[in-house]
Amino acid sequence: DAGITQSPRYKITETGRQVTLMCHQTWSHSYMFWYRQDLGHGLRLIYYSAAADITDKGEVPDGYVVSRSKTENFPLTLESATRSQTSVYFCASTETGQGEAFFGQGTRLTVV
């Protein structure tokens, strides 16, 4: 199916564990983004990528790692999860960076 999909939809992990959130898009959009959504903060940009093998930090990158070896995939890794990383994570993609962004359904991550 065409679109942008995130997995898993829900994840509970323990403090200190490594966890990877997956994002896959079928449009071959150049730009992909990871946001976290927290009450009172709206959406904050974690990392973004303008093309395969090109990534850059957003507003809140600490504690996260990304890679983009293929245009369609943009995984987000929490190297050592902390409770402050409990959040809802959204992946998005756009063709040009200026146009409409398409969002996945989100991953609700709880760190205990």
Residues lying near another protein in the complex (CB under 8 A) are found at: 31, 33, 35, 40-45, 48, 50, 56, 58, 90, 92, 94, 96-101, 103-106
- 3-class DSSP state for residue 85? helix
Closest CB to another protein among 8 and 97? 97
Report the Cα 56 to chain-centroid distance in Å: 13
User: CB of 109: closest distance to another protein in angstroms?
Assistant: 15
Is there a contact between 93 and 51 (Cβ–Cβ < 8 Å)?
no
What contacts 98, CB < 8 A, 6 or more positions away?
Answer: none
- Cα gap 47→61, rounded to integer Å: 6
User: CB of 42: closest distance to another protein in angstroms?
Assistant: 4
What contacts 99, CB < 8 A, 6 or more positions away?
Answer: none
Closest CB to another protein among 38 and 80? 38
User: CB of 90: closest distance to another protein in angstroms?
Assistant: 6
User: CB of 97: closest distance to another protein in angstroms?
Assistant: 3
Closest CB to another protein among 22 and 101? 101
Closest CB to another protein among 8 and 16? 8
- Cα gap 88→36, rounded to integer Å: 6
